[in-house]
Structure 1
């Protein structure tokens, strides 16, 4: 590299994002609105070092980033909704901002720069760009304001000798390829070691070429130098073809500088080939995954989701639910709110999230989903406002099988009434509910008198028929709210909610008489059976299912000892 003196230009482009062209674009060109303001800010707020804000036509702040809050030294809630003048002060507003806003609201992208005093960070040299924001009807509804702190750059320019040394050190030691292009003839005037390696050439060869010849942008007939002069390549992602036919994806940043008395462009080239390929691979995985993937941003907003998640929830395209609140997916709202509180607490504590929950499809129907989640912020504790990654799988088929198996397990195979295990589980819940509601509840235990004789005389198939006939007869008497279960063999239990002891006595007798009058047909013969019953009521002494069963069993034993074919109350006999 030659040792000619280098100094920064006396007049720089005022925009914070571009310093790439000798002939800057006209400020009269109307700025196109961003694709989505909130999408744009969600990407910039946590990463940009710039002061970024959005104001409406009333010149009041609507959105600000953390960097802006830090600079002002004011809480965010004291800035949002306030007039710009009240936050930045009258001096700056009337000398710079007011006129710039007027031009911006007339449709022109506007810039200004200068020294400004900030409450928290002191006096800084800042360059500001104001871009009009349009609604769908192409009406200007606000302005996006980007302010970049270039204090260090300004001080460096004011100290030319120090700036030249710093630039030389940066030029030689930078990890990215850097070249200097002479603006008068377009030739490469200088290049660092990384540039020679990137372009697969040596210093003498690269500095003897025109900038248009060192690389050719793909899908463009214009050379690299011509594109830089027109402002098309600066700060853009390009695919270029090198002289050895290799293709590279790059980001190019250009800055005008002065070498001796000649204007040059300092070009910094960042090779993002591997990074871009990695992003495409991740996007392909995201788009084609058979598992639903979503990213949630502050306010429980669905920032992004893949096609599988949209399909799972009954939507045609991810955009149908993106930018919406997760509330559109709530099927059981109280249950979902409990889940939300639980998962946020766990994520903050660094615990993994795995849960099953019903979500609501577009048509309002439920879909069982399995969730796992991680905070995008890797700090401990994480900042959940930076986003939460959700992995979602449709487990409706699994839940359907579980429900079917549970239904099978809950029924007695012969009679179709509750199995012993399900009856006991269900009864505990009913007792708990009864105690909470302070309502009466009773339990009846019954079995068939001399059932062994039926099996011995008529055979076990007839015994099964007898049991089936008994359950069918009793089911005609019971209510839907009553629980009827087979405890084993010829033993049965009935739980009667909202039923007093006197009502239970009546029902027991009704059941006994109905069974006594039921005829069992067996081939050419028929016969009748009788049953014995014992019952007990839920009381402060009999306050658990085990105690209630024990009491009813004692009453049943008393009924059998007293001659069978009768019902007996624990409270009439067993307490004497």
Structure 2
């Protein structure tokens, strides 16, 4: 009986020893794993006691602060690692407040490396004791991450943003950034100057349609040019916009989608570069006027008149509506030049052209053919209507020039009228009108004659 009890106790002891050995083995494995993690962690790790003395660190912590051996800082206060005594004391507040309250502290702070240089670290401290409040005498585990690269990247980003802001604010080209629904996200000062006297902030949130001359033009712009953004076609276009005060302004525009996807999502933003080309447009229009407008009489030159007349004739042939041509000649104009001088003759020509133009519709075409001879095209006008126009012109010229306040001597005009009916050309119709003009002069001048000859193509 005693022998059996003794065997049972021996068995229990053996089992306990085996369990103890197993636990020790697992503990050794866990310790090895922890040491491996501790030694090879990408973050610096330091164990500090309640007096803020360094108990141990891993190699990464030493590398971050520029030390080669743990013995260089082992047992020393962390005062050595702070940039100043004031900073060291200020950091101690974390022990007295945050750590005692929650057991964890997270802070970014500058530290001092072995060579005296400054380094910014992201520090996370945790009390070893997990009671509440924790017993800090059991130590604090600090984990340190080097923020140097991140801070340098942020600094570079800040500098790049400052450069971009400087470019955006001072660029001599207008810049507008749109977001979803073609609403304005930002404009620069130059764009604000182009569109009026409001500050850039005033435009934020407004729909860009407010700055098109009409809703139709806004929609037309979208149809014509937003497809090119999807296709990443960086074409430059010219378009007329409307300033804040309602006046028109011609601009040159090029845009790019901000989204890098293919195709890009335009709701994520579009940047437009806008240049004011009003001065150039005005110069082009002035050059066009010089090239197409007689400088003395302000009506079309002969070449430009023929271009417009041929278009009118082509439309006449398409829609079969009547079209009439009138040739006009100031009677005895040479006598005016001989009697009053060429200056008066020039004033007479200018007054005559202005008076005749005042009797015409916006769709009618008038040009100076040379000297005192002018030609008129009257679209959608038959023979009777053309004779009424001729009568009005003769009355206005004779009456106006004979008035007491007239700036010129009294003049009269002879007019030849030809009706186009499937003509061979506009030149052929003008020849008929010119023939009718000669008939009017032959019959005593100051009258209108019509040539009803039909010219077949």
Aligned match of 1:553 = 431
Q: 1 or 2, which has the higher helix percentage?
A: 2
Preserved contact between residue 256 and residue 263 of structure 1 (Cα < 8 Å): yes
Give the match for residue 183 of structure 2: 301
Q: How far apart, CA to CA, are the structure 1 residues paired with 2:241 and 2:35?
A: 62
Question: Contact 1:444–1:535 at 8 Å: present in 2 too?
Answer: yes
Aligned to 1:496: 378
Structure 1 residue 352, shift from structure 2 partner: 0.9
Question: Structure 2 matches for 1:102-121, cutoff 5 A?
Answer: none
Change (3 A) 1:568 1:549: farther
- Residues 268, 338 of structure 1: alpha-carbon distance in 2 compared, 3 angstrom cutoff: farther
- Contact 2:106 2:125 survives alignment (8 Å): no
Describe the shift of the 1:526–1:232 C-alpha distance in structure 2 as closer, same or farther (beyond 3 A).
same
Shift of 1:334: 1.3
Give the corresponding residue for 2:12. Answer: none
Change (3 A) 1:443 1:347: same
Pairwise CA RMSD: 5.1
SS of structure 1 residue aligned to 2:295: coil
Conserved 8 A contact 1:254-1:268: no
* Aligned mate of 2:254, from 372, 384, 388: 372
Distance apart, 1:536 and its partner CA = 2.8
Partners of 2:325 and 2:454 lie apart in 1 by 16
Match of 1:359 among 223, 233, 241: 241
Counterpart-to-counterpart distance in 1, 2:337 and 2:371:
12
For the residues of structure 2 that align with 1:443 and 1:224, how far apart are their CA atoms?
102
More displaced 10-residue stretch of structure 1: 430-439 or 415-424: 430-439
Residue 351 of structure 1, CA deviation = 1.3
Question: Pick from 345, 348, 354: which aligns with 2:227?
Answer: 345
Partners in 2 of 1:300 and 1:182 — Cα distance?
57
CA distance in 1, matches of 2:453, 2:393: 19
Give the aligned partner of residue 45 of structure 2.
Answer: 180
2:173 pairs with 1:291:
yes
CA contact (8 A) 2:189 2:200 kept: yes
Secondary structure in 1 matching 2:236: strand
Residue 460 (structure 1) shift: 4.0
After superposition, the C-alpha distances for 1:407-451 in whole angstroms (9 at most, x for unaligned) are 565543212334445545655676788889886543323334675
Change (3 A) 1:568 1:370: same
Kindly name which structure, 1 or 2, has the bigger radius of gyration based on alpha carbons: 2
Aligned residue in 2 for 1:15? none
**Structure 2 vs 1, CA of residues 194 and 504 (structure 1 numbering), >3 Å: closer, same or farther?**
farther
Provide the rounded CA distance (Å) in 1 between the counterparts of 2:88 and 2:306: 78
Once the 2 structures are TM-superposed, how far is the Cα of residue 298 of structure 1 from its aligned partner? Answer: 2.6
Counterpart contact for 1:252–1:268, Cα < 8 Å: yes
From 398, 418, 423, the counterpart of 1:535: 418
1:160 and 1:293 map into 2 onto residues whose CA distance is 63
Relative to structure 2, which stretch is displaced further, 185-194 or 266-275? 185-194
Cα distance, 1:321 vs structure 2: 2.7
- Aligned-pair distance for 1:504? 0.2
Q: Number of residue pairs matched?
A: 393
Q: Deviations over 1:482-505 (max 9, x none)?
A: 443223332312233453321102
Q: Distance in 2 between matches of 1:206 and 1:277?
A: 37
Change (3 A) 1:390 1:574: closer
Residue 417 in 1 paired to residue 280 in 2? no
* Partner deviation per Cα, 1:168-212 (whole Å, 9 max, x = no partner): 7772xxxxxx5334475666934649964xx6x344468877389
Q: How does 1:419-458 map to 2 (within 5 A)?
A: 419-420=301-302, 423-424=305-306, 440-448=322-330
For residue 309 of structure 1, give the secondary structure of its aligned residue in structure 2.
Answer: helix
Q: Is the 8 A contact 1:255 1:267 kept in 2?
A: no
Q: Secondary structure at the match of 1:327?
A: helix
TM-score normalised over the length of structure 2:
0.64
**Contact 2:106–2:123 (CA under 8 A) maintained in structure 1:** no
Q: Which runs of 5+ in 2 are unaligned?
A: 1-29, 129-138
SS at match of 1:353: coil
- Cα deviations by residue, 1:376-431 (Å, 9 ceiling, x for unpaired): 23455444343222222334444455555555655432123344455456556767
Cα gap change, 1:459 to 1:367, in 2 (>3 Å): closer
Change (3 A) 1:321 1:557: same
SS at match of 1:377: coil
What's the CA shift for 1:568? 4.4
Inter-CA distance 383–552: structure 2 relative to 1 (3 Å threshold): same
Q: How does 1:379-394 map to 2 (within 5 A)?
A: 379-394=261-276
Counterpart CA distance in 2 for 1:298 and 1:255 is 45
Name the structure where strand makes up a greater proportion of residues: 1
Corresponding residue number in structure 2 for 1:151 = none
Q: 1:464 aligns with which of 338, 342, 346?
A: 346
**Is the contact between residue 179 and residue 267 of structure 1 (CA under 8 Å) also seen in structure 2?**
yes
In 2: Cα distance, 1:536 partner to 1:220 partner? 105
TM-score of the pair, normalised by structure 1: 0.53
Distance 1:287 1:572, change over 3 A: same
